[in-house]
Chains A and B, each alone.
Chain A
Amino acid sequence: MLDTAKIRPEFPILTQKENGRRLVYLDNAATSQKPRKVIDAIVHYYSFHNANVHRGAYALAVEATEAYEAARTAVARFVNAWAREGVVFTRGTTESINLVAASWGRANVRRGDTVVVTAMDHHSNIVPWQILCQEKGATLRMVEITEDGRIDLSEFGRALEAKPKLVAFPYVSNSLGTVNPAAQLTKLAHAAGAVTVVDGAQSSPHLRVDVQTIDCDFYALSGHKMLAPMGSGALIAKPALLEAMPPYHGGGEMIERVWDDHSTWNKIPHKFEGGTPNVEAAVGLGAAIAYLEQLGMEKVSQHEQELARLTIERLSQIEGVTVYGPRDHRAGVVPFTYGDIHPHDLATILDKDGVCIRAGHHCTQPLMRRLGVAATARASFYIYNDVDDIDALVTAVRKAGGLFGVLAS
């Protein structure tokens, strides 16, 4: 386990009280808290290096550009990208996926084509493909999940028989915690001739990710779930694909030459970074990656998996609690329901004890329909959570049961 007694004081927000109690933050799948080092990196950037990037002829502008590009190098190293030119900064996973849909999708998907997603995808890896398919007259196919919350591989195989143009899936499910066999899914999709998009929002913060081993074509991540600022994120792609794709946003920075009636495009990744980028977010993401690398991503995974295992064990001892998702191959995400107590009520009661959990559909409404629930409660862990947090969670859940007089559903 990680040394949380050393880690917790490095997060200013965790030193404050919530409703007079120690803050027990268990909504990390929604967003993570930020360590002092990340906050300081942003303040330092604005205090000493701020200027617009890639255009100033003066020293300050060069420093800003160097800080921005150093963050790109950090992201490339962190996920073992094919090349640093294959790292496009975005606002997060949602924008990364929309970029692929709008650029690669518009150029390559035609009427009658098929795009495949899974029933455990987040809305951000479903809706952009729905929009694309509706625009193009293409078919969107959703692969079912198994009873225990994995992608149904035989269903996946059947979906590939339609020779889809593109296959999208999450590396880790935000609603179930399932860690999908990304390399295997990619291999199958490639054999069927599809391009693959991996939603890495929940894997990047928690696993050692190697996009070259997965061998996907596009990989999307969000910085804010991995200690970095909101509005930071990246699309990591095979450079040859980016080269061949049309631009996403037109504007400054993404052009080479602009004529009265047409333009030529800058080199990748700049072709996809029109307008002044969020340099502060990139700098913060670089600092977050340095922090995580120092801990070691294997240790991060082990820590969270141990907390999840313990939480499932403790919650399962409470009569009326149902835990969703697979028993193994799962990350630090524990979705559950408790008798007939609505998750929203559960979250309110837990909040009174300073325990922050998410309650709702977790932006996965198709999955919720398949689970047959309108909502679940979800505890999700990160590097600063410890056994005390689990104690607080379990105590508060039992308290809710007492208040409501649970009827097992």
Chain B
Amino acid sequence: MSDLGELYQQVILDHNRNPRNFKRLESANRKAEGNNPLCGDRIQLYVRLDGDTISDIGFQMPEGSGCAISKASASLMTEAVKGKPTAAAETMFAAFRDMLAGGANAPGKLAAFSGVRAFPSRIKCANLAWHALHAALQNRAEPVTTESARDF
């Protein structure tokens, strides 16, 4: 149970039940779609970029899609990057990915996902939103999938 407690930390369960920035952003000027074809999870990410700053961000997951890990990860990501420069968001993504690959904990609340390391089958769930954000910031139109991104 201790491993499960590490995976499903209270902050993750909270963000799963009450996701933040869980909205379609009408003012978005960047969008991206992420798919995890293995479990059917899908995310729509909306970003409002003003100059180099992520001034607003929101996400949606179709009804019933989105496990606790992918939904909480998307929610915590939006909180972490809102109001930040794009370069800072990319740095956080690198730290997050590094943590899941066995590296040091990512800063702040993102460290809640350190328990995912012990569950290799769930790493793609945690990474999904971040890959969507990366695609949105790069202004890539095609949906990202956990099966095509080489570094998922």
Q: Are B64 and A374 in contact (CB under 8 A)?
A: yes
Q: Are B63 and A374 in contact (CB under 8 A)?
A: yes
Given A345-B69, A348-B7, A404-B13, do A361 and B40 touch, yes or no (CB 8 Å)?
Answer: yes
Report chain B residues within 8 Å CB of A361: 39-40
Given A352-B1, A404-B13, do A344 and B7 touch, yes or no (CB 8 Å)?
Answer: no
Q: Are A375 and B121 in contact (CB under 8 A)?
A: no
- Greatest chain B CB density within 10 A among A348, A349, A403 is at A348
Does A277 make an interface contact (CB < 8 A)?
no
Q: Are B1 and A360 in contact (CB under 8 A)?
A: no
Does A342 make an interface contact (CB < 8 A)?
yes
Q: Are A373 and B64 in contact (CB under 8 A)?
A: yes
Report chain A residues within 8 Å CB of B122: 344, 348
Given A345-B67, A348-B119, A352-B1, do A374 and B13 touch, yes or no (CB 8 Å)?
Answer: no
Bound Cα distance A341, B13 (Å): 10
Does B66 make an interface contact (CB < 8 A)?
yes
Does B8 make an interface contact (CB < 8 A)?
yes
Q: Are A345 and B68 in contact (CB under 8 A)?
A: yes
Identify B40's interface contact among A352, A368, A404, A405, CB under 8 A.
Answer: A368
Identify A349's interface contact among B4, B41, B42, B66, CB under 8 A.
Answer: B4
Given A348-B122, A359-B39, do A342 and B66 touch, yes or no (CB 8 Å)?
Answer: yes
Bound Cα distance A404, B4 (Å): 11
Report chain A residues within 8 Å CB of B64: 342, 372-375
Q: Are B68 and A352 in contact (CB under 8 A)?
A: no
Identify B38's interface contact among A360, A373, A407, CB under 8 A.
Answer: A360
Within B27-70, the residues touching A (CB, 8 Å) are 38-42, 62-69
Identify A352's interface contact among B4, B38, B39, B67, CB under 8 A.
Answer: B4
Does B147 make an interface contact (CB < 8 A)?
no
Using a Cβ–Cβ cut-off of 8 Å, how many residues does chain B contribute to the interface with A?
Answer: 24
Q: Are B65 and A374 in contact (CB under 8 A)?
A: yes
Report chain A residues within 8 Å CB of B144: none
Q: Are B39 and A360 in contact (CB under 8 A)?
A: yes
Q: Are B8 and A374 in contact (CB under 8 A)?
A: no
Does B99 make an interface contact (CB < 8 A)?
no
Report chain B residues within 8 Å CB of A368: 40
> How many cross-chain pairs have Cβ atoms below 8 Å apart between A and B?
57
Using a Cβ–Cβ cut-off of 8 Å, how many residues does chain A contribute to the interface with B?
Answer: 21
Within A333-365, the residues touching B (CB, 8 Å) are 341-345, 348-349, 352, 359-361, 365
Does B98 make an interface contact (CB < 8 A)?
no
Q: Are A344 and B67 in contact (CB under 8 A)?
A: yes
Bound Cα distance A341, B64 (Å): 9
Report chain B residues within 8 Å CB of A404: 8, 13, 68
Nearest A-chain residue to B65, judged by Cβ: A374
Q: Are A352 and B3 in contact (CB under 8 A)?
A: yes
Q: Are A403 and B4 in contact (CB under 8 A)?
A: yes
- Greatest chain B CB density within 10 A among A342, A373, A404, A407 is at A342
Report chain B residues within 8 Å CB of A372: 63-64
Bound Cα distance A372, B122 (Å): 24
Q: Are A342 and B63 in contact (CB under 8 A)?
A: no
Q: How far is the CB of B119 from chain A (nearest CB, A)?
A: 6
Nearest B-chain residue to A365, judged by Cβ: B40
Bound Cα distance A405, B18 (Å): 13
Q: How far is the CB of B137 from chain A (nearest CB, A)?
A: 27
Q: Are B67 and A342 in contact (CB under 8 A)?
A: yes
Bound Cα distance A303, B121 (Å): 32
Given A374-B64, A375-B64, do A344 and B125 touch, yes or no (CB 8 Å)?
Answer: yes
- Greatest chain A CB density within 10 A among B7, B40, B66, B121 is at B40
Q: Please name the 3 residue pairs, one residue from A and one from B, whose CB atoms are nearest each other, closest first.
A: A342-B67, A344-B67, A374-B65
Which residue numbers of B lie inside 8 Å of A, CB to CB?
Answer: 1, 3-4, 7-8, 13, 17, 38-42, 62-69, 119, 121-122, 125
Can you list 28 A-B pairs, Cβ within 8 angstroms, ordered by A?
A: A341-B68, A342-B66, A342-B67, A342-B68, A343-B39, A344-B41, A344-B67, A345-B67, A348-B121, A349-B4, A352-B1, A359-B39, A360-B38, A360-B39, A361-B39, A365-B40, A372-B63, A373-B64, A374-B40, A374-B42, A374-B63, A374-B64, A374-B65, A375-B39, A375-B64, A375-B65, A404-B13, A407-B17
